[in-house]
Structure 1
Amino acid sequence: MKSNEKAVILCVDDEVVILNSLKKQLKNAFGDTYGYEIAESADEAMEIIEEMNEDKKTILLIVSDWLMPGMKGDEFLIHVHQKFPYIITIMLTGQADEEAIQRAMEQANLYCCLYKPLNTEKLIKTIQSSLVNYE
C-alpha cells in the first residue's frame, strides 16, 4: 500500500438511504483516515473489491447487510473471505436467521453481527475494536 493510499471501508446494502447514512457516520467518526466505498448489491461489491485488488488498494473492512436481492450477506462474506481472508467482515441484519449468522462466523470469519435498526455508536465501537485487533 502506497503511503498516500488510504485503506478502504466498504459498505454493502440494497437500501441507498442506509448506505449514504453509513458512509456519513463513518466519515464523521474516522474522518480522512480511511477511504469509503458503497455498493448496492453483493455483485457490485465484488466488482469494487476485484477492481481495488487489481489497483493494489487495500480493503480493510466490509460492513454488509444480510437481506439483499441476489446474494445474501452471509454468502457474500463467505465468498469474499475465501478470496481475501484478511478483510474484516461485519454483518448488519434486521432479520437474519441464526444459521446464517453462524455460517458467516464459521466460514467468513465474521467479526460481529449487528442488528438493525443500527446503533451508530455501537457500529463505530465495533469497527474500532476490529481494527485494533487487525493491527
Structure 2
Amino acid sequence: MKRSILLCVDDEMMVLTALRDQLRRAFDDQHMIEVAESAEEGLEILDDLSGDGYIPLVIISDWLMPGMKGDDFLIEAHRRFPHVIKIMLSGQADEAAILRSREQANLHEFLAKPWDAQTLIASIRSGLNDFQHEKPTL
C-alpha cells in the first residue's frame, strides 16, 4: 500500500496534469501522487492525508499563484512537515522569493518553467536519497 505522498501545487491545471503524468511514470508504484490548484488546497491535502497516516515526502510548487504565493506556502508546509523535500517550479519567481524559500523552507531546488522532466525526476530522486540517509523521525 502506498503510504507516502508527492504533492504538486499549481494554479494551472495543464501544468498539474503534466506533472502528475510525469510523476506517475517515474514513481506511481511507490508513492501516491496528489495535485492541488492552490496553496491553501495543498495545505488542506497535506493535513488531511497526514492525519490519515500518510507521509508527505515531496512538494513541487509554483510560485506565482492567486492567494498564497509559493514561498509562503513552502514555508508554512516546512513549519508543519519539516522533513518534506520542497521544490519550486516556476517561470516567474523572483530571486528574493527563492532565497526566502531556501532560508526558511529548506528549499531543495528551484527549477524554471518550462521544466525538463528528467531534471525534475533526478531532483526528486536526489531529495529522496538525502531523506533516506537522514532518517528523520516522522
Length, aligned pairs only: 132
Please name the residue that 1:20 is paired with: 17
Please name the residue that 1:89 is paired with: 86
Compute the TM-score of the two structures, normalised by the length of structure 2. Answer: 0.93
SS in 1 for 2:11: coil
Identity of aligned residues (%): 50
Query: Runs in 1 of length 4+ with deviation above 3 angstroms?
Result: none
Residues 5 and 30 of structure 1: CA distance in aligned 2, closer, same or farther (over 3 Å): closer
Please name the residue that 1:128 is paired with: 125
Counterpart of 1:116, as a letter, is K
Shift of 1:6: 2.6
- The question of 1:38 aligning with 2:35 is answered yes
Compute the TM-score of the two structures, normalised by the length of structure 1. Answer: 0.95
Question: CA-to-partner distance for each residue in 1:54-99, whole Å, 9 max, x for gaps?
Answer: 1111111100001100011000000111111011100011011100
Please name the residue that 2:54 is paired with: 57
Shift of 1:31: 3.1
Counterpart of 2:45, as a letter, is I
SS in 2 for 1:38: strand
Shift of 1:5: 3.6
- Cα RMSD of the aligned pairs, angstroms, is 0.8
Gaps of 5+ in 1: none
SS in 1 for 2:34: strand
Gaps of 5+ in 2: 133-138
Counterpart of 2:54, as a letter, is K
Aligned equivalents of 1:83 and 1:73: distance in 2?
A: 15
Please name the residue that 2:135 is paired with: none
Aligned equivalents of 2:21 and 2:2: distance in 1?
A: 20
Shift of 1:104: 0.1
- Mean Cα displacement is larger for which, 29-38 or 66-75? 29-38
